[in-house]
Amino acid sequence: MKKLALWICLISPFLLQGHAGGHYATGDLLKIWHLQNGQTIEGNFAYGNSEGITVEQLHGTLQTILLANLQTADRKIAQLKVNRYKSIHGQAFTETLPKTSKPAFPGMHWIAFFLFATLALQVFSGDHQKKWRQAIGLACLFVGIIWACKTETAISPSNSSTTTTTPTKTSISFLDSAFAPYKKTISTNYDDTYYYVNSNGMPEHNMMVGITSWQQQVPIPQPYSGSNHWSIPLKPVYESTPLSTKTNFMKGAVALAVNGIPIFNALNNRGEDSFAIGELDQWGGHCGRADDYHYHAAPMHLSNTSGLKPIAFALDGYAVYGAKEPDGTAMKALDAYHGHELSNMAYHYHGTADYPYVIGSMRGKVSTDPATPAPENQILPQAFTNSVRPALTALKGATITNFETLSPTAYVLTYSLNAKKYTVKYSWVNSTYTFVFTDGDGKQSTETYTRK
């Protein structure tokens, strides 16, 4: 009889697994925890300490939330639950919150269970059925069952192996790892509020080829450094009524690619889809009125170098990923803002090959320049261009056919117009830029400008 009871105990974890969804099947009531950054986490209190709580989500997923990151009302509830938990279980058992990490491989918890179960059997089957043997045996079983029922997943988008926390503040190491592959051409620093990126606005990839609607501007370096650096908010906060990129942000950048190139609204200042009307090169970019290179479409090519890391950060602070989720799976469905908040990671956008390409609406709060009302309301802070020559106009019928780097400070752009070949060869020394134009008949003209 005793043996039968023992075996029922041993197989109980398998019965629990047979119930799809673990302890909380879909539709069961889960408490919604409100974070200070506006995000929410669904899950029921499992255990906790003076630092934070661990909640159990759908399918038994455990997620840790720091008390400091909770909104006041929810923090009070969490503290009440922690206090009650302490009075039941004693402080020693709960003082250290588990590090959130994925199990090494599925089934790891079952191996742990069997180890504990074997240990329990050994203890039970001893010659002397003493009370302390039974107690230890039951304790082993209890730990084994608990272990078998739970899995844990990481919370933050960071791939770092350190303890993960709730995404109230984007970790510097996460941002560093996203920008790291491009550190040859950019530099970064940070304070408590922003992550700053210094860049000269010139990408490592080729540019301009394929543009059929051209304003005659060519890429030259821009002074996006010092006090004119790019600023990515470290503590993104949800906007209650996110501003649509259809009717806002027609001026300035909405995001910064991890190679230091700004990403502008997918619509041009006439409300047209820049990509659809041939204004962009095959990398999704072109030059503005200050000869500033920038993207209007998602720079999906960056994921070749970035892998599963973000390809950009929106100026509201949320990351922009490529075609895959950070864990390598196919992109999950996007919301109306062109992003989503998955159960185990912070809100993020995805770049896609179709409109709106990067951002449908700015999910996070941003400040805008009061001097320019919507739709020209540009996000502040942001880095500004500095032109060296007067802006040019559209050259109807021209197609850019080639772009060549002659040296780190010299380029030649080739375009065809009326079946003839034209070139713009340009170079610079310090702030003085020389442009040599060769027309379809081989006639040359030179212009020189100095940036103030």
Q: Give the range of 22-30, 57-65, 300-308, 323-331 binding Zn ion by CB under 5 A.
A: 323-331
Output 56 or 325, the one with its CB closest to Zn ion.
325
Output 175 or 320, the one with its CB closest to Zn ion.
320
Output 335 or 369, the one with its CB closest to Zn ion.
335
Q: Give the range of 15-23, 167-175, 200-208, 283-291 binding Zn ion by CB under 5 A.
A: 283-291
Amino acid at 48: G
User: Diameter of the chain by CA atoms?
Assistant: 106
Is the peptide bond prior to 223 cis by the omega test (within 30 degrees of 0)? no
User: Least distance (Å) from Zn ion to the CB of residue 264?
Assistant: 5
User: Least distance (Å) from Zn ion to the CB of residue 278?
Assistant: 13
User: Least distance (Å) from Zn ion to the CB of residue 257?
Assistant: 14
For strands 432-438 and 444-450, give the pairing: antiparallel
Output 145 or 319, the one with its CB closest to Zn ion.
319
# chain residues binding Zn ion, by CB under 5 A: 2
Q: Give the range of 81-89, 169-177, 318-326, 390-398 binding Zn ion by CB under 5 A.
A: 318-326
For strands 61-66 and 151-152, give the pairing: parallel
- Which residues in the 128-157 window bind Zn ion by CB under 5 A? none
Q: Is 7 in a helix, a strand, or coil?
A: helix
As given in the structure block, the two tokens for residue 2 are 């005793």
| Residue 56 touches Zn ion, criterion: CB under 5 A | no
| Closest-CA residue to 285 (of 270, 305, 300) | 300
Output 144 or 242, the one with its CB closest to Zn ion.
242
Q: Give the range of 36-44, 233-241, 325-333, 412-420 binding Zn ion by CB under 5 A.
A: 325-333
Q: Among all residues, whose Cβ is closest to Zn ion?
A: 325
Q: What is the 3-state secondary structure (H, E, C) of 78-102?
A: HHHHHHHHHHHHCCCCCCCCCCCCC
| Closest-CA residue to 106 (of 152, 41, 38, 168) | 152
- CA dist., res. 337 & res. 241, Å (int): 11
- CA dist., res. 2 & res. 25, Å (int): 33
Output 10 or 315, the one with its CB closest to Zn ion.
315
User: Least distance (Å) from Zn ion to the CB of residue 426?
Assistant: 19
User: Least distance (Å) from Zn ion to the CB of residue 292?
Assistant: 8
User: Least distance (Å) from Zn ion to the CB of residue 294?
Assistant: 6
Q: Give the range of 3-11, 250-258, 280-288, 351-359 binding Zn ion by CB under 5 A.
A: 280-288
The owner of tokens 């995805």 is 350
| Residue 292 touches Zn ion, criterion: CB under 5 A | no
For strands 348-350 and 319-321, give the pairing: parallel
Output 278 or 288, the one with its CB closest to Zn ion.
288
Residue-by-residue DSSP string for 88-154: HH-STTTSSPPPP---SSTTHHHHHHHHHHHHHHHHHTSSS--HHHHHHHHHHHHHHHHHHH-EE--
Output 152 or 325, the one with its CB closest to Zn ion.
325
| Residue 325 touches Zn ion, criterion: CB under 5 A | yes
- H/E stretch holding 407 reads strand 399-407
Give, in order, the Cα–Cα distances in Å from 24 to each of 56, 103, 150.
Answer: 8, 20, 12
Output 152 or 291, the one with its CB closest to Zn ion.
291
- Which residues in the 70-129 window bind Zn ion by CB under 5 A? none
Phi/psi at 103 (5° precision): -60, 150
User: Least distance (Å) from Zn ion to the CB of residue 332?
Assistant: 6
Q: Give the range of 59-67, 282-290, 307-315, 406-414 binding Zn ion by CB under 5 A.
A: 282-290
Residues that bind Zn ion (CB under 5 A): 288, 325
